[in-house]
Amino acid sequence: MTEYPIKLYENEEFQRCAGHALRPGGLDLTRKALDISGLAAGSRVLDIGCGCGKTVEYLGRVPGMLALGIDISPEMPALARRLNGAQQIVVGDAGRLPYADRSMDGILCECVYNLLEDRSRALAEMDRVLRPGGRLMVSDLYLREKRGEFPGLPLATCINGIAARETVAGEIGAAGWEMVAWQDETPVYKQFVAGLIMTYGSMAAFWESLVGSCQKACAMQDSLKNVRIGYYLSVWGKRPGRPGAANGEDRR
C-alpha cells in the first residue's frame, strides 16, 4: 500500500479553498445524485469517505433523511463537527464497514473511489450494507485521454487513481452492480481547477504550496500534460437476480 506523507484532502488551506466540500461539484452534484437515485424521505444514507462532513450535514437537513458518515482519517470526525456541525461520523475503512447487512438505503462515495486501495473489497462491503433496491452513488475523476506516461503525483490525491470510464464501469459492474446512470460532469472539475488557479495564481503554485519545492511542482504539472482528466457522476443498483439483489425488488 502506498503511504504518502502528504494527503491533499488533509491540507487545511486546500480544505478552506474548497469550501470544506473536498471535491468538484460540491453539494449541487450531491443533490443531482440524490435526484437520480430517487431515494425517498426516511432514507438512511451512508457517506463513505465523508471528509469534513459537508454532505453528511446537508443530508441531515433533508427532511426525514438519516445521514451517517465514515472516514479513514482519524481527524475527520472532529473536523466535521467543528466545521460543519456534522455529528454522525465515525473513523473506519470502506473495506470494513461497521454496519449491519442491508441496513442502508443509499451510499454516497464522493471523490473517494480513486483513493481506495482495494476497490473490490470496498464494493463488496457496500453491497453487503446496502438493502436490495438501494442506490450506490459514485463520483470521481476519470481519464478522458492519455497522451503519454503518467507516473502519478507524489501525494495522496484522487488524480492518482484515475482510470478510463470503461475501466471504472467494468470494475463496479464486475462487483455485481448495474449502472443506473453515468453522467460526464467535467465542467465542475474545470470550475474547481479554475478556483484553485484564482486562489494560488497557477496550478504549479498550488502544487508548490503542498510539496514545498518549485522544481517538484513544475515536474508534477508537466506530467499532468499527459492526461486529460474529467469528472463523472454515476448511480448503481444491485444487479437483479444476484443473491442479495432480490429480483424485482431492485427497481423503484
- Answer whether 220's CB lies under 8 Å from 154's CB: yes
Longest dimension (CA), the chain: 57
In the complex, what is the shortest distance from the CB of residue 154 to ligand SAM, in angstroms, rounded to a whole number? 17
Beta strand pairing call for 44-48 and 89-91? unpaired
In the complex, what is the shortest distance from the CB of residue 81 to ligand SAM, in angstroms, rounded to a whole number? 14
In the complex, what is the shortest distance from the CB of residue 37 to ligand SAM, in angstroms, rounded to a whole number? 16
Cell numbers linked to 196: 484553485
Cα→Cα distances 56→42, 110, 145, 185, Å: 15, 11, 33, 22
Query: Using CB under 6 A as the criterion, what x/- string covers residues 179-218 for binding ligand SAM?
Result: ----------------------------------------
> CB-wise, 54 or 135, nearer to ligand SAM?
54
Beta strand pairing call for 130-146 and 104-110? parallel
In the complex, what is the shortest distance from the CB of residue 23 to ligand SAM, in angstroms, rounded to a whole number? 4
* 70 class by beta-carbon count within 10 Å (0-12 exposed, 13-18 middle, 19+ buried): buried
Residue 50 touching ligand SAM (CB under 6 A): yes
In the complex, what is the shortest distance from the CB of residue 247 to ligand SAM, in angstroms, rounded to a whole number? 31
> CB-wise, 110 or 185, nearer to ligand SAM?
110
DSSP state at residue 82: H
Which residue number places its CB atom closest to ligand SAM? Answer: 51
In the complex, what is the shortest distance from the CB of residue 241 to ligand SAM, in angstroms, rounded to a whole number? 29
- Please give the residues from 5 up to 34 whose contact with ligand SAM meets the rule CB under 6 A: 9, 21-23
Nearest to 129 by CA among 171, 94, 173, 78: 94
CB atoms near residue 95 (< 10 Å):
17
When binding is defined by CB under 6 A, the residue of 17, 49, 57, 245 that contacts ligand SAM is: 49
- Please give the residues from 144 up to 173 whose contact with ligand SAM meets the rule CB under 6 A: 158
Cell numbers linked to 179: 449502472
Q: Report how many residues bind ligand SAM under the rule CB under 6 A.
A: 23
Query: Using CB under 6 A as the criterion, what x/- string covers residues 53-82 for binding ligand SAM?
Result: -x---------------xxxx--x------
In the complex, what is the shortest distance from the CB of residue 52 to ligand SAM, in angstroms, rounded to a whole number? 6
> How far apart, in whole angstroms, are the C-alpha atoms of residue 250 and residue 240?
6
Among the listed ranges 34-42, 109-117, 169-177, 236-244, the one in contact with ligand SAM (CB under 6 A) is 109-117
Nearest to 42 by CA among 104, 99, 88, 102: 104
CB atoms near residue 140 (< 10 Å):
25
Q: Which residues would be at the binding site for ligand SAM (CB under 6 A)?
A: 9, 21-23, 48-52, 54, 70-73, 76, 93-94, 110-112, 115-116, 158
